[in-house]
């Protein structure tokens, strides 16, 4: 691209350079500002994937709403799953400011063209999984999301501020569930331990491939879409979570996990990357179920969406006729 | 408070709690299944309002009863015959039109009911009603708007809305049913005279049906029995799901 | 695949009496009533507002970022519009 503009001294600079200077100066990009196509595409992909994850994420937890073991737990879970729908909508709304239409983004989700976070392809067979998701999955998500509140694209950053503010109750909700189980009957404690065993490694995989195998990271960091590397955030999560597990009296299922005084961090064992890529390819425990469910929901609802649009059209025509008659 | 009076009040709070609890549970089934993501949030909001009410009514019922049963004991440890909700609220969700029909009939009644209950001589019931009437006003606005959209939308939505209405209509009548216990509480200035609400509620319903281009279903079969524990088969399945954890792990804290 | 577009509405929330409405995001809705309902459910779940505006996104006219310099820079050198431009002795007191 050869488009240029003049810098304050009158020397020509490329639009890309001016854009990068702007970002380097920690200024925000707003919807109608000039931006490189690749920046726009990267953001649309990332924000819509994030939105899809929130929407698919309603399934593994939503299926416990009708079975929650107390009314207090039930209302908390409803409010939480409702927030997830809300977060999905904030994020679709942010992506739309980049010129993507929600219908297209949703269509990409339904056909499998767009991805969502693999974590939601794991199953929630017991009530303890609801605790583990809140504690670990939301905990990992918060590690990922807090830096996004300062991401370079204004509408995304603003959406993430809302999301992070609301998420803070999610993790506490999950941890409280785990705490009650861990202090409960032996059967309940076992239930909590089993859930931790199921969710520990998948939670660590949520941060994405190791830095040396993460092809898009460098560019995203340069654009300040992303501010910390995958490994850095993963380490932060482990350091934060180990003491929480100790407090619960539960055992993290990693024999290699130990404190490293020299590094000032916990060391942990190899992660199951084969599993990561398998789930990404669609071979996780619930990929098919999640997609089938979302597709069925979408097609079952088509007549409702059409009806509302038809009614709005009729109303508009009636108002126009009334104005004409007056 | 006499023992007989206290028994009546316990049963009354339980009825109100059960209506909210069972309808809230039904709406909860929609989570992640709604026709559009915005509707997931909307239906969950109504569900949360109803569970909020259910908790207050059931807690109060437990206090009046005085046998140490709390909201969870009442919600999770009674069997079908112990529930006193109206048959309407236990009806399955069906399609979205069916759910809207059930919700609209309930809301159309509930706005009048809760408004009247704010005048109750029982301070607890009056306080819950003062909060509930605001919620119900919004619920009615939501369900009525959708009744009209679907009724006056496409041919398909019109047919589905009419069918949903036909499905739910028979259960409307039970909402107006009075028995001796409620009548005693009405006489004491505590309960609402349900019969006295009929004209307003039916006018509200008729008005909405006209706007929605729907026809009023014929009054034929008018089942009752929910208030004394005679329920449809549907309630057992609902309870099996809702109570499963408490039944599978008796006496545990959650 | 069925594609019925519910149009986009921009949402403005008044946080409390005394504040102006502030843009918070957008919703999709088939009609204005639904837009209010959806905005209420999405943006005021935690008592964030006392009043809502929804505006069809297509009705918003925005300035062009390319005009930013010509629209807004000319104001930068009009320092005499600001109170600190004027020298008033301290003895006069607060003004």
Residue C54 φ then ψ, to 5°: -125, 135
- Give the pLDDT confidence score for residue A168 in this predicted structure: 84
Mind listing the domains of chain C with CATH numbers? Answer: 8-92 (3.10.20.520)
- Residue A159 CA, chain-centre distance (Å), reads 12
Measured distance CA(A268)–CA(A257) in Å, rounded: 4
What is the average pLDDT across A273-289? 96
Strands A12-14 and C8-14: unpaired
Q: What is the pLDDT of residue C1?
A: 45
Q: How many CB pairs under 8 A join A and B?
A: 130
Give the distance from CA A33 to its chain's centroid: 26
Q: What percent of chain A lies above the pLDDT cut of 90?
A: 91
Average pLDDT of chain A to the nearest whole number: 95
Chain B environment of C54 (Cβ under 8 Å): none
Give me the pLDDT at residue B2, please: 79
Closest partner residue to B28 (CB to CB) among A78, A308, A310 is: A78
Element of type H or E holding A106: helix A102-111
Residues 6+ apart with CB under 8 A from B171: B86, B87, B88, B91, B102, B105, B223
Rounded to the nearest 10 degrees, the angle between the axes of helix A37-62 and helix A71-96 is 160
In chain C, whose CA is at the least distance from the CA of A300?
Answer: C2
Indicate yes or no: CB of C25 within 8 angstroms of CB of A90: yes
**What's the gap in Å between the CA of B104 and the closest CA on chain C?**
16
Q: What local confidence, expressed as pLDDT, does residue A239 receive?
A: 98
Q: Is some CB atom of chain C closer than 8 A to the CB atom of B212?
A: no
Q: C8 CB near a chain B CB, below 8 Å? A: no
The mean pLDDT of A24-34, rounded to a whole number, is: 94
State the Cα–Cα distance between residues B236 and B247, nearest whole angstrom.
14
pLDDT tens digits, B119-153 = 999 999 999 999 999 999 999 999 999 999 999 99
**Distance to chain C for B64, nearest Cα, Å:** 33
Q: What domains can you pick out in chain B, each with its CATH number?
A: 3-214+230-248 (1.20.1260.10)
Closest residue on chain A to B75 (Cα):
A71
ipTM: 0.97
Phi then psi for residue C8, to 5 deg, are -90, 135
Q: What is residue A1's predicted lDDT score, i.e. its pLDDT?
A: 44
Q: Could you tell me the pLDDT band of residue A216, with boundaries at 50, 70 and 90?
A: confident
Q: Give A32-50 pLDDT, tens digit per residue.
A: 999 999 999 999 999 999 9
The DSSP secondary structure of A143-205, one letter per residue, reads: HHHGGGGG-SBHHHHHHHHHHHHHHHHHHHHHHHHHHHHHTS-HHHHHHHHHHHHHHHHHHHH
Residue C33's closest chain B neighbor by CA? B145
Query: Do the chains contact at C37 and B149, CB–CB below 8 Å?
Result: no
Distance from CA of C80 to the nearest CA of A (A): 24
Q: Has residue B60 got a pLDDT over 50?
A: yes
Q: Are strands A265-267 and C51-56 parallel, antiparallel or unpaired?
A: unpaired
**Facing residue for B145 by CB, picked from C28, C33, C42:** C33
The per-residue pLDDT of chain B, averaged, comes to 97
Q: Do C42 and A103 lie within an 8 Å CB cutoff? A: no
CB contact under 8 A, A82 and C62: no
Of A269-283, C44-58, C79-93, which range is least confident? C79-93
Q: Average of pLDDT values for A221-231?
A: 94
Q: What is the pLDDT of residue A8?
A: 64
Q: pTM of the full predicted structure?
A: 0.94
C-beta atoms of C3 and A159 within 8 A: no
> Does B154 contact chain C (CB < 8 Å)?
no
- When pLDDT is averaged across residues B27-54 and rounded to a whole number, the result is 97
Name which of C1, C3, C42 is nearest A86 (Cβ-Cβ): C42
* Residue A311 Cα, gap to closest chain B Cα (Å): 4
Cα–Cα distance between B31 and A86 in angstroms, integer?
A: 13
Q: What is the pLDDT of residues B214-251, one digit of tens each?
A: 999 999 999 999 999 999 999 999 999 999 999 999 99
d(CA C93, CA C95): 6
Q: Which of residues 133-192 of B touch A (CB under 8 A)?
A: 148-150, 152-154, 156-157, 160
Q: Taking CB atoms and an 8 Å limit, are B252 and A188 in contact across chains? A: yes
Q: Around A41, how many Cα atoms within 13 Å sit in the side-chain half-sphere? A: 5
Predicted local confidence at residue C74, as pLDDT = 87
Three-state SS at C83: helix
């Amino acid at each position: 691209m050869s488009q240029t503009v003049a810098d304050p001294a009158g020397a020509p600079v490329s639009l890309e350079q001016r854009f990068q200077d702007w970002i380097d100066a920690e200024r925000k990009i707003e919807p109608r500002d000039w931006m490189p196509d690749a920046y726009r595409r990267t953001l649309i992909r990332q924000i819509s994937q994030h939105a899809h994850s929130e929407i698919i994420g309603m399934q593994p937890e939503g299926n416990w709403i009708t079975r929650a073991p107390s009314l207090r737990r039930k209302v908390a879970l409803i409010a939480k799953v409702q927030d997830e729908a809300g977060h999905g909508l904030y994020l679709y709304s942010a992506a739309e400011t980049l010129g993507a239409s929600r219908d297209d983004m949703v269509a990409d989700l339904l056909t499998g063209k767009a991805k969502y976070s693999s974590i939601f392809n794991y199953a929630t067979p017991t009530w303890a999984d609801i605790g583990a998701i809140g504690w670990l999955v939301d905990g990992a998500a918060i590690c990922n999301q807090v830096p996004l509140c300062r991401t370079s694209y204004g509408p995304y950053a603003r959406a993430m501020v809302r999301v992070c503010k609301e998420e803070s109750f999610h993790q506490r909700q999950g941890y409280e569930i785990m705490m009650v189980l861990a202090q409960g009957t032996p059967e309940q404690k076992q239930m909590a331990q089993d859930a931790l065993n199921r969710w520990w490694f998948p939670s660590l995989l949520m941060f994405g491939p190791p830095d040396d195998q993460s092809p898009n990271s460098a560019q995203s960091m340069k654009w300040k879409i992303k501010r910390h590397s995958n490994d850095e955030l993963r380490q932060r999560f482990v350091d934060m979570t180990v003491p929480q597990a100790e407090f619960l009296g539960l055992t993290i299922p990693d024999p290699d996990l130990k404190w490293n005084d020299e590094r000032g961090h916990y060391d942990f064992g190899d992660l199951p990357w084969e599993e990561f890529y398998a789930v990404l390819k669609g071979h996780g425990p619930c990929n098919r179920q999640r997609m089938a469910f979302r597709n069925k929901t979408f097609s079952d609802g088509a007549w409702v969406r059409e009806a509302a649009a038809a009614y709005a059209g009729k109303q508009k025509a009636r108002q126009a006729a009334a104005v004409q008659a007056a | 408070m006499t023992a007989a009076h206290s028994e009546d009040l316990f049963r009354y709070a339980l009825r109100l709690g059960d209506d909210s609890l069972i309808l809230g549970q039904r709406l909860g089934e929609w989570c992640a299944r709604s026709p559009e993501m915005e509707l997931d949030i909307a239906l969950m909001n109504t569900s949360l309002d109803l569970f909020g009410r259910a908790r207050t009514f059931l807690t109060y019922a437990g206090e009046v009863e005085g046998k140490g049963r709390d909201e969870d004991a009442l919600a999770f440890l009674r069997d079908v015959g112990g529930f006193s909700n109206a048959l309407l609220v236990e009806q399955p969700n069906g399609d979205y039109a069916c759910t809207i029909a059930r919700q609209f009939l309930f809301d159309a009644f509930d706005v009048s009911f809760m408004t009247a209950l704010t005048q109750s001589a029982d301070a607890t019931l009056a306080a819950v009603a003062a909060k509930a009437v605001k919620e119900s006003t919004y619920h009615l606005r939501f369900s009525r708007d959708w009744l009209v959209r679907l009724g006056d939308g496409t041919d398909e939505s019109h047919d589905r809305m009419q069918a949903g209405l036909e499905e739910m209509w028979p259960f409307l009548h039970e909402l107006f049913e009075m028995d001796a216990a409620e009548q005693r509480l009405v006489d004491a200035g505590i309960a609402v005279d349900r019969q006295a609400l009929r004209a307003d509620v039916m006018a509200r319903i008729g008005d909405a049906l006209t706007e929605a281009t729907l026809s009023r279903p014929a009054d034929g079969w008018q089942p009752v029995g929910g208030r004394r524990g005679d329920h449809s088969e549907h309630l057992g399945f609902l309870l099996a799901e809702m109570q499963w954890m408490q039944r599978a792990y008796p006496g545990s804290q959650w | 695949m069925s594609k019925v577009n519910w149009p986009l509405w921009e949402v403005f929330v008044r946080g409390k009496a005394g504040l102006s409405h502030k843009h918070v995001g957008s919703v999709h809705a088939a009609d204005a009533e639904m837009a209010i309902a959806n905005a209420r459910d999405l943006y005021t779940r935690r008592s964030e507002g006392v009043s809502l505006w929804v505006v069809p996104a297509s009705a918003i006219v925005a300035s062009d970022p390319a005009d930013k310099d010509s629209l807004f820079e000319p104001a930068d050198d009009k320092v005499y519009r600001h109170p600190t431009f004027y020298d008033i002795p301290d003895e006069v007191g607060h003004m």
